Amino acid sequence: MLRMFFKRIVQHLFPRHCPICKEITVGSDAAQLCADCAMVFEADLLLRCPVCRLAASECICTPGRLKRFTDKIDGHRVFTTAFYQPGERSSYVNKLIYALKNDPEDTAARIFAQMMSHEILLRFTKSGKDIREWIITYPPRREEKVDDIGFDQAERLAQMCAEYTGARFAILLARYGGKEQKSLNRAEREANMKNAFYLKKPRSLQGARVILCDDVLTTGATLTACASLLKEAGAKEIVIVTAAKTVRREKTEKVVSDMSWFTEE
């Protein structure tokens, strides 16, 4: 009874806000969107991949370079929840990704982490894998960026996914430097990520099973750099989970062979 009383006091003093419209969400301290934003967000989740024509949660497309260092679980190397569309201001997925990257309140991270955890547990259950045997980690951001915004969104997601799934969270990777990725093209991203990361305890990774957790998969350069290090250190299995995959509007009408980063399994 006392615990419930204090919980209600905390809800009253520190209410959660919808990360998109910033309205106070009513009736719970759970991370959630307001009813209006949730309706539009759910509609945005129906967007189909321009290659495999499946929704994000079922999409079987993977950047070709990631195939060398990742493994399939239930037919997927990458688990994701939504499609991010650069420059699409009307997309509520985009708005939630912006909140994930920039909002000190963790509501957006918890919403995506709950969705990501659902995908992880669904795939692992179907394949008979024991999530408790897996480690969830993340590619760390540049220190300057973390200092600027006050948190690392990939670390948040990884910690929450571990909390929701029962996997073990561990910081396996550290970063030397590198530029901000979002302004770089594919070749520049690959060059930027080369030698940008190192393993903190490489000897502990022999035979490890690792889930690499990140916010948005675009070209796969960051995750490829991290996955390659983990494999070289002896990781037995690696899969990727992200909040979103990038699809570009200017490519949606082109043929499959012209989709530069999409590669059908």
pTM of structure: 0.85
Q: Which residues contact 211 (CB under 8 A, 6 or more apart)?
A: 120, 134, 135, 136, 137, 161, 167, 238, 239, 240, 241
* Confidence at residue 253, expressed as pLDDT on a 0 to 100 scale: 41
In a domain, 194, yes or no: yes
* Confidence at residue 64, expressed as pLDDT on a 0 to 100 scale: 84
* Confidence at residue 85, expressed as pLDDT on a 0 to 100 scale: 95
Mean pLDDT for 189-199 is 74
32-66 in b/e burial notation, b at 16+ Cβ within 10 A?
bbbeebbeebeebeebebbbeeebbbebbbbbebb
In a domain, 75, yes or no: yes
AA letter at 101:
K
In a domain, 265, yes or no: no
Could you list the residue range(s) of the whole structural domain that residue 197 is in? 2-258
Mean pLDDT for 137-165 is 95
In a domain, 234, yes or no: yes
Mean pLDDT for 77-81 is 97
Phi, psi (5° rounding) for residue 84? -95, 130
In a domain, 263, yes or no: no
For residues 239 and 245, give the distance between their C-alpha atoms in angstroms, rounded to a whole number. Answer: 15
Residue with the larger pLDDT of the pair 181 and 9: 181
Q: How would residue 193 be classed by pLDDT, with cut points 50, 70 and 90?
A: low
* Confidence at residue 20, expressed as pLDDT on a 0 to 100 scale: 96
Least confident span in 4-8, 58-62, 194-198: 4-8
In a domain, 50, yes or no: yes
In a domain, 52, yes or no: yes
* Confidence at residue 145, expressed as pLDDT on a 0 to 100 scale: 87
Residue with the larger pLDDT of the pair 46 and 178: 46
Mean pLDDT for 104-123 is 96
**Whether 260 contacts 63, CB under 8 Å:** no
* pLDDT greater than 90 at residue 234: yes
Q: What is the CATH number of the domain that holds 179?
A: 3.40.50.2020
Q: Please provide the average confidence, as pLDDT, over all residues in the chain.
A: 85
In a domain, 264, yes or no: no
Mean pLDDT for 100-124 is 96
Number of domains in the chain: 1
Q: Is the Cα dihedral 21, 97, 186, 75 positive or negative?
A: negative
For residues 229 and 199, give the distance between their C-alpha atoms in angstroms, rounded to a whole number. Answer: 7
Percent pLDDT > 70 in the chain is 79
For residues 222 and 228, give the distance between their C-alpha atoms in angstroms, rounded to a whole number. Answer: 10
